Chain A
Amino acid sequence: MSIWKYANPKRFIEATTRVLPWLVALTALALAVGLVWGFFFTPDDFRQGSTVKIIYLHVPAAMMAINAWIMMLATSLIWIVRRHHVSALAAKAAAPIGLAFTLVALATGALWGQPMWGTWWAWDPRLTSFLILALFYLGYITLWSAVEDPDTAADLTAILCLVGSVFALLSRYAVNLWNQGLHQEASLSLDAEKNVADVFWLPLLVCIAGFVLLFVTLVLVRTQTEIRARRLQALLARERVA
């Protein structure tokens, strides 16, 4: 028993089909509990009022926007080293989800920033980093769709993901040097003293768990779709030859 047996597309589809209903149920439960708890059963912040509740969408989406890229980096590395097609397809499947999370984080951030900072957009380091991250996702997705041969596309996008990760990290530091921001310091760390108060923190944790589950569910469904699409193409090609 090793994890690599799921590199076989057939086994991967079998296993994930068995897991998916549970994942969907868990995702729905976590998101429902987290969002309802956050929106209706937490007090208003004494300065921000009820706008503070955007945090339950904004923070998890922002976390998953970065985590999706890290997952793509890991699966790209696995593809380069071990040549498992499922791994490359999982990276391909994760990219649009990561882009969606990035856009959700930017949009909810704009909606939150307008009443709090008085502006929809500022060249704050974190805002800028997320805009750059969106550009990286766009380039990655476009490269996948521009190259016809699937293996070539997988190789090229994997190389882009590796190089892009280095430059994304560089951009993060560059942007920090370039402009001081409006965002507060990290306030969800496990060890820091100045954290968000517990009343907000617990439902936020549930929401984060819900977003992680949502991401995993969507990646599995989309990877299955990619595998089936690849299979369909192979069948069609075989029929054309016959």
Chain B
Amino acid sequence: MGPGMRALLLRDLRLAVRSGGGFGLGLAFFLILSVLVPLGVGADGVVLGRIAPGILWVGALLACLLSLDRIFALDHEDGSLDLLAISPVPLEGVVAVKALAHWLVTGLPLTLMAPGLGVLLNLGPSAYGWLVVSLLLGTPTLSLVGAFGAALTVGVRRGGLLLSLLVLPLYIPTLIFGAEVVRRGAEGMALATPLALLAAISLGAAALLPFASAAALRVNLR
């Protein structure tokens, strides 16, 4: 990572954690969801344990969705995106760094928080490790795909709903494989297949999606 990309990463991290950055929003949402689900579904431990993998993955996914429109929208509004586009750092690198920054302030804390919420949802003891592993491998895709959706909709005013509509179908494979890993982990089944596919999607997305996102940004900055 060159000095330009490092500076951009630090800038995005600082902007996200300072006041008004919306850093805690996704985490708060994840916490609220995990508290509300048992209240709505009932305290039956068996039922909660069975739905816990899916609830945790859906919660992490939706929490991620909340902050997607911040990836490019603010920079687009105040013109810094234009400066980034003419900077020596290639736009693909800008997208990758911004997705990384988004992951560091949403995906990573969500992953670290998830086992604690698993306790609330009576997750099976053998699933905690797989929950952390699957979220670690899967949430980068959520940020990368989110950056792609944000790049597509950066020129659309109030594009939040459109962004969710575009991104949700792209999240489906990650959600299915991620929740499947945790479910199989809880039941002690073989889980190499969904785990490998989850990692494959993340690696493929990391390798290819920044190019698509950068192409979309260039079109929007024309």
Contact = CB atoms under 8 A, between A and B. Distances in A.
Interface of A: 132, 135-136, 138-139, 142-143, 146-147, 152, 155-156, 159-160, 162-164, 167-168, 170-171, 173-175, 177-178
B180 A132 contact: no
Contact of B153 (A132, A146, A174): A146
Given A143-B152, A159-B152, A167 B170 contact: yes
Contacts of B155: 147, 152
A164 B170 contact: yes
Interface stretch (B66-74, B119-127, B212-220): B212-220
Interface size, B (range): 20 to 34
B201 interface: yes
B170 A156 contact: no
A174 B219 CA distance: 32
B91 to A, nearest CB: 14
B220 A174 contact: no
> Quick one: which of B152, B153, B172, B219 has the most chain A CB within 10 A?
B172
Contact of B180 (A147, A171, A178): A178
A81 B159 CA distance: 28
Contacts of A178: 176, 180
A178 B129 CA distance: 21
A174 B172 contact: yes
A152 B173 contact: no
Interface string B97-115: 0000000000000000000
B114 to A, nearest CB: 21
Nearest to B200: A170
Given A163-B148, A170-B201, A138 B165 contact: yes
Interface in B129-173: 148, 152-153, 155-156, 159, 162, 165-166, 168-170, 172-173
B220 A139 contact: no
A63 to B, nearest CB: 21
Nearest to B157: A146
Contacts of B148: 163
A26 to B, nearest CB: 35
B26 interface: no
Given A159-B215, A174-B197, A167 B220 contact: no
Contacts of B219: 152, 155-156, 159
B170 A163 contact: yes
Nearest to A169: B173
B194 interface: yes
B169 A164 contact: yes
B222 interface: yes
Contacts of B156: 146-147
Shortest 5 CB-CB contacts between residues of A and residues of B:
A170-B173, A174-B176, A174-B173, A135-B169, A155-B219
B177 interface: yes
A168 B170 CA distance: 8
Contact of A132 (B152, B159, B169, B193): B169
A163 B205 CA distance: 10
A147 B156 CA distance: 6
Contacts of B170: 163-164, 167
A159 B216 CA distance: 7
B209 interface: yes
Contacts of B159: 146
